[in-house]
Amino acid sequence: MREGTITGRKTPLFLGIAIALQSHAAPAQETQPQVARIDEVLVTATRREQSVQDVPYNISVVSSDLLVGTGTALHPGLQLAWQPVVPARTSSARTPRVLFLCTGNSARSIMAEALLNFWGRGRFRAFSAGSHPKGEVHPLTLQSLEHSHLPVEAARSKSWNEFSGAAAPKLDFVFTVCGNAAKETCPYWPGAPMTAHWGVDDPAAVEGTREEQLRAFNRALRELDARIKLFINLPLDSLDKLALQERLREIGRTEPLKD
């Protein structure tokens, strides 16, 4: 929780979950407090009967997050400039689980896992695995992630067998990010997840100097980043299964990035 004071004269006001509005103008007859309930948040405002042209207000902001459309509830002369971030998923459904697959689980799938867990901000739970895991994450994968300020602590090369079988966590989406994994026969995935192929060139296959190799890893990271941002902005709750499947395939058909 943050508390603070914002004072202004007939200016747009930033608001939070609870706002106490009080005029510091000369004493005047008060009307009954105006009360509005917006998105389950109670906002109370007291107005004094005099001109609003030059009336200073003192606002105690308990939280700087959301409220949309409460300006008129507070006072007809107030407008809101704040555009809150509204949680995309408000239902009680569990967080969607997403598995990224490639053959070795040392580069592309590790990057995708880190990106979705970062940009999803709790709205998704991402995992990664390989059909034939190398057992260790490629050093340039870690370097690329760290350079982009993405967490690497949970990065681990592992088999897709960890996510198959009745005891494994139920999955909602499975995306292959390399051609070899897409051609292999996948295990049984609990939850009957939706699948799509988001192929990205293997940066570990690039030969040359370390700088050239690192450039290939950074390019793969940017390609995956662009696709994952498209994915997290899909209206999952409003798309039917066929429409969602097509949108997932469209994301996989996006053009590779140029250097």
Quote the distance between the C-alpha of residue 114 and its chain's center: 12
Mean pLDDT to the nearest integer, 232-254 = 95
pLDDT for 166 equals 79
Spatial distance between the Cα atoms of 49 and 66, rounded to a whole number of angstroms: 29
Residue with the bigger pLDDT between 36 and 92: it is 92
pLDDT for 179 equals 73
pLDDT for 72 equals 41
Q: Supply angle C-alpha 118, 185, 111, rounded to 5.
A: 20
* Three-class SS state of 125: strand
Q: Does the pLDDT of residue 209 top 80, yes or no?
A: yes
pLDDT tens-digit profile of 166-176?
Answer: 788 899 999 99
| E strand map for 88-227 | 97-102, 125-130, 173-176, 194-197
Spatial distance between the Cα atoms of 99 and 113, rounded to a whole number of angstroms: 8
Catalytically annotated residues: 102, 178, 186
pLDDT tens-digit profile of 110-160?
Answer: 999 999 999 999 999 999 999 999 999 999 999 999 999 999 999 999 999
Mean pLDDT to the nearest integer, 217-221 = 95
Picking from 171, 228, 176, 223, the residue whose alpha carbon sits closest to that of residue 198 is 176
Contact 84, 68 (CB under 8 A): yes
All structural domains of the chain: 4-74 (no CATH), 97-252 (3.40.50.2300)
Q: Does the pLDDT of residue 206 top 80, yes or no?
A: yes
Q: What percentage of residues in the chain have a pLDDT greater than 70?
A: 61
Contact 159, 165 (CB under 8 A): no
